[in-house]
Amino acid sequence: MSRQRVRRAQPGRYGGLAALSGGLIGEELDDEYPGDLEGTPVFLGCSDVDPHIPEERVHDTAAVLESMHADVTERLYEGMGHGVNEDELEFVAGMVAELVD
């Protein structure tokens, strides 16, 4: 049985990426992700006890994106569960504001 590969977006400079209670998906992450994100600003926000996204996956996602030269901000929120908070919304709003300035 052949392994089906997931098609990925082409790396390059983007305006920004925000993952609120999220991270890279899959049973296991690849050892290498090709391409250069050229300093793309990235925000990863998640709870330290999210029932759907293990804390380690957030750290691993940050490491992968940093290895692709993204400018990563990672924030874990104590005891928040699976959701989005005001701090995350403010940070992402600031990212968007920088794009339109």
Q: What is the pLDDT of residues 21-50, one digit of tens each?
A: 999 998 898 878 889 999 999 999 999 999
Domain span at residue 64?
17-23+35-100
CA–CA gap between residue 8 and residue 6 (Å, rounded): 6
In three-state secondary structure terms, 42 is strand
In three-state secondary structure terms, 16 is coil
Q: Confirm whether 10 is domain-assigned.
A: no
Q: Confirm whether 87 is domain-assigned.
A: yes
pLDDT less than 50: residues of the chain: 1-4
State residue 48 phi and psi, 5-degree precision: -75, -10
The total of other beta-carbon atoms located within 10 Å of residue 79's CB is 7
Q: Confirm whether 1 is domain-assigned.
A: no
Q: Confirm whether 39 is domain-assigned.
A: yes
Q: Confirm whether 70 is domain-assigned.
A: yes
Number of domains in the chain: 1
* pTM to 2 decimal places: 0.87
Q: Confirm whether 4 is domain-assigned.
A: no
Q: Confirm whether 11 is domain-assigned.
A: no
CA–CA gap between residue 67 and residue 57 (Å, rounded): 15
